[in-house]
Structure 1
Amino acid sequence: MADRESLLETAIVRHGAGRLDEAEAIYRQLLAARPNDADALHLMGVLLHQRGRSDEGRGLIEAAIGRDTANPVYHNNLASVLLSLGALAEAEASARRALALLADYPDALVNLGTALVRLGRLDEAGDHYRAALRLRPDDAEGWLLFGNLLARQGRTGQAVEVYRQALSLRPRHGGTLIQLATALKAEGDGAGAIACYRAALELDPASAPALNNLGNLLQATGALDEAEALYRRLLALDPGHPGALGNLGGVLQARARFDEAIACYRLALQVTPDDAAAHHNLATALKRIHRLGDAVEEYRRALALAPDYAEASSGLGAALQAQGHVAEAVPHYERALALQPTFHEPLNHLMFALNALPNITSADLLAAARRWAAAWPTPAVEGRHANPPDPDRPLRVGYVSPDLRHHPVGYFLTAVLGHHDPAAVEVHCYSNSRIDDDITQRIRAAAKGWRDIAGLDDAAAAALVRADGIDILVDLSGHMADHRLPLFQRRPAPVQATWLGFFCSTGLDAIDHIIGDPTIIPVEDEPCYSERVWRLPGCYLCFDGSTIDLPVAPLPAGETGPITFGCLNRRDKMSAPAIEAWAEILRRVPQSRLLLKTASFSDAATRADIIAAFARRDITGDRLVIEGATSRQRHLEAYQQVDLALDPFPYTGATTTAETLWMGVPLVTLRGRTFVGRVSASMLQAIGRPELIADTVEDYVERAVALAEDRPRLAALRRELRAATAAGLGDGLGFARALEALYRAQWRTWCAVSA
């Protein structure tokens, strides 16, 4: 007996010191002499479990229990082994047997809690973790497990405190730091999460979760260099890590390195071919380089794997729309919104798509905006505004946009901002973009205040607007990409308006006013807007073409050459009725041809589709010139090939129309039934060329044919249009004064009810 006790004690010491080979040899020696020794059976079972041989360990511990059923330690350690084997119900039963023998047994309480967590019985599990921690409050591992439970229950604020308690007991534990970082991120404390991940990496530079998750946080803050470096570090350690491959692809895509991003996504799919997110990300990158047919296939693969994937539904709709399949895209946007009502991307795509459908009305557009925006959560709104209701004092006007850069909004806004009277209006800009280009710099220079809000949530951004004392907050996005309409729902300014960046009602009660002009919003359309309609006297847009360093070219057709018609608008604006009208114009003007240029035509399938559309209307491919994406300079140079521009309908041009006219190219438009159906008409009215506006499709065709047959008139228009455009659309000073007068009237309206 003395030899047995001595040997067992020696084995236990060596086992505890991690000298497992030596401990195992002694246990085997004991069992050879006494095969039914319960302690030796139990401890040998524990050791085999620690060595990854849990099935063998389970058998030995069960044999020990067969010899001694009243030992709670045996039952508890069997519970640990069963947990590792996934035998959860049996693990629960073993832990309960241990507690029946010893009620105040912290280890058994923890094991029971863990079994219950994995069985989905979270509230019960919490009770047992709490009981264990009351008995043993210095158990860092117990606090960690309890924190994980709270995080799983969505109680991340409490989880943060529990993880901090675990760290106070075990400060240099990487796993706890990672869990704390995850909880802090969920609580909106990105900076705290980043600090925890960095601390975890100091302890273990090869920690995959820390490398990957820190990269994700840095990527979200725009620190793309460091995020890329972290993902590459992880991939050097684990070249097939699908998360890192996908995330690196995201960084590369954000940097417009699309071919490299696509390579990352394809590698990720080699590792996990059934990963719906990887198919979605690949599709998105393909769409960005206008490989639309390939993008559609990848989005469909993502949805086959995950039918309720809202982002993939929205992406599929966008790819189909870019190909010109607008009606087919609409149900995909509606599906995405039904799955995720607060997902803004499909709504901005849907509103664009609806505007491009031939039979849509302004009332339909208001109903759609109202329907989907009504699903957004209603945020808390602070009390009265502190702005002094003095009707005549200088006003602080804030412009909110993600497009204060090379973008149509940026182009139109630069024509105005520098002309605001600082004695009447103090301009503040709130930029929701991390792009900073020469247009951004021009806008920033013209503003009194500049705030970058891309990294702020709506509550923080609203607090900033209030602190800046903004009197009139102007949305320049509507439901377009990266808008901040939920910021407006918090009512940070007493007067709130939308202008310039959108093309119908926002459908939000938080937007008081919409700024248009008499052409785009006639009086009879006012009931189709949730906002009060205000009209500038000319066109609602101001265009400064002086930055376009290209001359007006002579008429390309000359006196006897073939006429070239042209449309440089998006493919999804080229509706079937517009294509039918263009085909009729080509039939009636012999030898003429049609130049179609837009980024979507970089895609072979989309080019083939438009050629087929004309072929069905008896127009052969040799009469079409199809061009895809180029630089903006090359895009503008294309106008030098066009004798007469054909505006698409029902969604007409805006920036494209202004550029067309500036380049001296006459444009025939069809006045439509909606805001976007009248933008070109508004511009042509403003520059004094109403004769280029048609009111029916037949009239549109007749005017285009007649003008194509009148070369002297075409040549004269070409000589006149730039000056007319500069006078009618480019008077930045006059436009600014009219806009200021409108702001003043809106302000006085508020003052009258607030004084």
Structure 2
Amino acid sequence: MIQNTEDITQTLQRALQLHDSGHWLEAEQLLHTILAVSPHQPQTNYQLGLLLQESLRASESLPYFNTALEQDPQNAPHWLGYIGALIDASRYEDAKLVLTYGRDAGLDGESVHYLEQLLAQRQAESLQLASAIGEQLPAAHIQEKLIQLFLNKRYQVAEVALQQLLESYPKWLTGWKMMSDILLVQKKDARLAASNALALNKDDAQEYCYYGLVLKGQGDLVNAAAAFKRAITLQPDYAAAYNNLGIVTKDMGDVATAVVYYRKALAINPGYASCYSNLLFCLSHTDIVNAADLFAEHRKFGSQYEAVYKSAWPKHSHQSNLTKCLNVGFVSADFREHSLASFFEPVLEHLSQVTDIALHAYANNALEDEVTQRLKPKFKHWNKVDELTDAALAEKIRADRIDILVDLDGHTAGNRLMSFAMKPAPIQISWLGYLATTGLTAMDYYLADAHLLPPGKFDQQFTERIVQLPANAPFIPSVLSPEVHTLPALNNGFITFGCFNRVEKITPSVIKLWAKLLNAVPNSKLLLGAMPKNGSYDGLVSQLSSHAVGMDRLIIHHRSNMESYLKLHDMVDVCLDTFPSNGVTTTCHAAWMGVPTLCIEGQSLMSRGAMAVMLHLGLPEFVVKSHEDFISKGIYFAEHLQDLSELRTTLRKKFNDSALNQPKLISDNLTLALRFMWVRWCKSQPATSFKVPN
């Protein structure tokens, strides 16, 4: 509570600190708190005026500047602030008058001349706007300031300013789109703003595509698909609309149809690399291609895009120094709250302490969060590269003299494989983000472990050479993990199978197999814990129904926050894995929560992730080789609940004792692997598959 001059001074200082750090709304509240006690305090009025003016609320700032000037007319900034606010508020005659008064009071200098020129310029712009025919828009300087607020991440301030501007300019298309962008960034509902933008430009295909992207960001996949389809109707050769339609169709579980949309986009624009990555990602989630054909599709990608760059691959000028400190770069769009962090961060914690390695991050994520802030200090150099072109990123990596460059994304969203195709570093590695080859000959190595890729067994599915670590990566469970509770079947009287994998992984073949198991165990139920919202999983429910599994057998939960998601495992006795694309993060989470996962040993890396986790935990009985074995094992566990109950109580210990919980071991072996690769390069030896330690 403010009681004296010292309190005012301290509160004002705190408000200024908040303002400087970008917390403008909190600063505004503190300034109002001071004025409630001392309404004529000049410095507080002046600072509040500045804050409101910077927030594009110039009209609101005028009384505060006026009070500051009246209380302390000898202070030149008070005059200048008031005049500038009058100009921003389009009060040009008043600004002229106050300028005259200021000059009479001795006001002079470059700032005064600047305001005089600004006043003349704004008056001229005002006359031009008044004579223009057509839609009314805010002045150009206001739009520029809004853009600056957005670029400076002053999202709340920009939102408040836009709310007021859009009341005055309801037909301002760009304003409504800016509003929807600002709301999306803050994870707020942007649908109304986007629909207002669409209403102003409803015959434009790009406007429908933008609207669809907003709906997709809000989780409204059904209506997003409809918007993309409308965009295609308006512009049949709109490759981006087909690509986006493929994304939402895949997210709703119809992977086969998504593949069709991606291929249509590529037929229109064969050079659409990110769409090609989407196609490959999608194909890896289906059983419509076998492992050999999937590899061939990846090689087509590599051949097509490397053909552009291969002849220009640089002759790297790195010195052949076996013991040098290695510059190791990591490229990812997922240095944020993402499943990647659960595997990468624990290794990074130890790798950052290795004295003969200098870590460089190339972060392709536009938005940063708490995870980003945790990761940043672990790197010697942090580079935000989301606005760099592929060529510019490759050039920066060369300029940074990176010895070994690691891709953490593969063909997932936001990848920078085109930069890798330019071979900016002498040694390039793919790891963690994508359980398949990149298809690039520019990528030298792929990191895995012996459970995922037994020596020599799957080499023909990779352009890269396979490196086997003790485990592909460690997994650190969430600090939000609740305690493991008793097996739910003991109280329910029936077994509950569960799956927390994304809906696009639940293929028709998976549904058919699950239905056979559920029908073989009549009292069983199936919990689906990662369903998209707004009826986007209706196709899945319909397919289960066609196999005699009705809604009374299903327990549906939407994707939620980490704490709620982990708690759902209290309702599950055994998880069922998907194929050909397994769940890896979900399998680890389930195991930590005492729930084993029944899975099929696959014939590609994408279909071996859950198996590897189960084998690392010493649970080979949950890995089967055929669909018939899958059903038999499911029936067995339904009839041996006591075995499941005992396992539930010991699974966390098994996890803690496994290589999955030894990040230092994996970091140490990764360090050895990087040095071994470097030594081979220094000796002009080609990349080769190997196991660590050698």
TM-score by length of 1: 0.68
Q: Which residue is 1:418 aligned to?
A: 349
Q: Which residue is 1:632 aligned to?
A: 562
Q: 1:200 touches 1:210 (CA, 8 Å); kept in 2? A: no
Match of 2:506 among 564, 574, 577: 574
Q: In 2, Cα distance between the equivalents of 1:667 and 1:433? A: 32
Q: Which residue is 1:245 aligned to?
A: 176
Deviations 1:67-116 (A, max 9, x none): xxxxxxxxxxxxxxxxxxxxxxxxxxxxxxxxxxxxxxxxxxxxxxxxxx
How many residues get paired? Answer: 553
SS of residue paired to 1:435: coil
Q: 1:317 touches 1:332 (CA, 8 Å); kept in 2? A: yes
Q: Does 1:254 align with 2:185?
A: yes
Deviation of 1:568 after TM superposition, in Å, equals 0.7
Q: In 1, Cα distance between the equivalents of 2:521 and 2:479? A: 35
SS of residue paired to 2:526: strand
SS of residue paired to 1:520: coil
Q: 2:150 touches 2:182 (CA, 8 Å); kept in 1? A: no
CA gap 1:385/1:220 in 2 versus in 1, 3 angstroms: farther
Deviations 1:567-618 (A, max 9, x none): 0111111111111111122122232111001141x22252x33222222111
Q: Which residue is 1:658 aligned to?
A: 588
Matches within 5 A, 1:367-382: 367-376=296-305, 378-379=308-309
Q: Does 1:726 align with 2:674?
A: no
Matches within 5 A, 1:615-626: 615-626=545-556
Question: Which amino acid counterpart does residue 667 of structure 1 have in structure 2?
Answer: T
Deviations 1:274-307 (A, max 9, x none): 1222222222222223222222211111111111
Deviation of 1:218 after TM superposition, in Å, equals 5.3
Q: 1:400 touches 1:484 (CA, 8 Å); kept in 2? A: yes
Deviation of 1:252 after TM superposition, in Å, equals 2.6
SS of residue paired to 1:387: coil
Q: Which residue is 2:601 aligned to?
A: 671
Matches within 5 A, 1:330-729: 330-376=259-305, 378-379=308-309, 383-420=314-351, 421-522=353-454, 523-537=456-470, 539-545=471-477, 547-558=479-490, 561-600=493-532, 602-606=533-537, 608-728=538-658, 729=660
Q: In 2, Cα distance between the equivalents of 1:264 and 1:219? A: 18
Looking at both structures, which has the greater relative contact order when contacts are Cα pairs under 8 Å and sequence separation is at least 6?
2
CA gap 1:341/1:212 in 2 versus in 1, 3 angstroms: farther
SS of residue paired to 2:428: strand
Deviation of 1:753 after TM superposition, in Å, equals 0.6
Deviation of 1:342 after TM superposition, in Å, equals 3.9
SS of residue paired to 2:475: coil
SS of residue paired to 1:544: coil
**Greater Cα radius of gyration, structure 1 or 2:** 1
Match of 2:211 among 261, 282, 286: 282
Deviations 1:405-448 (A, max 9, x none): 11111111112111225134332222111333232233223222
SS of residue paired to 2:664: helix
Q: In 1, Cα distance between the equivalents of 2:362 and 2:122? A: 36
Task: Give structure 1 stretches of 5+ with no counterpart.
Answer: 1-198
Q: Which residue is 2:80 aligned to?
A: none
SS of residue paired to 1:698: helix
SS of residue paired to 1:582: helix
Q: In 2, Cα distance between the equivalents of 1:581 and 1:685? A: 22
Q: Does 1:739 align with 2:660?
A: no
Q: 1:279 touches 1:298 (CA, 8 Å); kept in 2? A: yes
CA gap 1:730/1:346 in 2 versus in 1, 3 angstroms: same
Q: Which residue is 1:204 aligned to?
A: 125
Between 625-634 and 720-729, report the one with greater CA deviation.
720-729
Question: Which amino acid counterpart does residue 567 of structure 1 have in structure 2?
Answer: C
CA gap 1:519/1:501 in 2 versus in 1, 3 angstroms: same
Q: 1:215 touches 1:228 (CA, 8 Å); kept in 2? A: no
What percent of counterpart residues are identical?
31
Q: Does 1:273 align with 2:202?
A: yes
Q: In 1, Cα distance between the equivalents of 2:366 and 2:517? A: 45
Deviation of 1:236 after TM superposition, in Å, equals 5.1
Q: In 1, Cα distance between the equivalents of 2:149 and 2:364? A: 16
CA gap 1:375/1:254 in 2 versus in 1, 3 angstroms: farther
Deviation of 1:231 after TM superposition, in Å, equals 6.1
Q: 2:498 touches 2:572 (CA, 8 Å); kept in 1? A: yes
Matches within 5 A, 1:58-97: none
Q: 1:503 touches 1:676 (CA, 8 Å); kept in 2? A: yes
Deviation of 1:544 after TM superposition, in Å, equals 1.1
Q: 1:214 touches 1:227 (CA, 8 Å); kept in 2? A: no
Q: In 2, Cα distance between the equivalents of 1:646 and 1:243? A: 47
Q: 2:347 touches 2:473 (CA, 8 Å); kept in 1? A: no
CA gap 1:469/1:702 in 2 versus in 1, 3 angstroms: same
Deviation of 1:217 after TM superposition, in Å, equals 6.6
Q: In 1, Cα distance between the equivalents of 2:482 and 2:138? A: 53
CA gap 1:584/1:743 in 2 versus in 1, 3 angstroms: same
SS of residue paired to 1:551: coil
Deviation of 1:351 after TM superposition, in Å, equals 1.8
Question: Which amino acid counterpart does residue 317 of structure 1 have in structure 2?
Answer: G
Q: In 2, Cα distance between the equivalents of 1:347 and 1:229? A: 40
SS of residue paired to 1:239: coil
Matches within 5 A, 1:323-334: 323-334=252-263
Deviation of 1:681 after TM superposition, in Å, equals 0.9
Q: In 2, Cα distance between the equivalents of 1:384 and 1:273? A: 52
Q: 1:211 touches 1:231 (CA, 8 Å); kept in 2? A: no
CA gap 1:434/1:265 in 2 versus in 1, 3 angstroms: closer
Q: In 2, Cα distance between the equivalents of 1:359 and 1:672? A: 15
Between 510-519 and 622-631, report the one with greater CA deviation.
510-519
Q: Which residue is 2:251 aligned to?
A: 322
Q: 2:598 touches 2:623 (CA, 8 Å); kept in 1? A: yes
CA gap 1:586/1:754 in 2 versus in 1, 3 angstroms: closer
CA gap 1:509/1:231 in 2 versus in 1, 3 angstroms: farther
CA gap 1:636/1:496 in 2 versus in 1, 3 angstroms: same
Q: Does 1:291 align with 2:223?
A: no
Q: Which residue is 1:106 aligned to?
A: none
Q: Which residue is 2:41 aligned to?
A: none
Task: Give structure 2 stretches of 5+ with no counterpart.
Answer: 1-119, 130-136, 687-694
TM-score by length of 2: 0.74
Question: Which amino acid counterpart does residue 474 of structure 1 have in structure 2?
Answer: V
SS of residue paired to 1:587: helix
Q: In 1, Cα distance between the equivalents of 2:661 and 2:365? A: 27
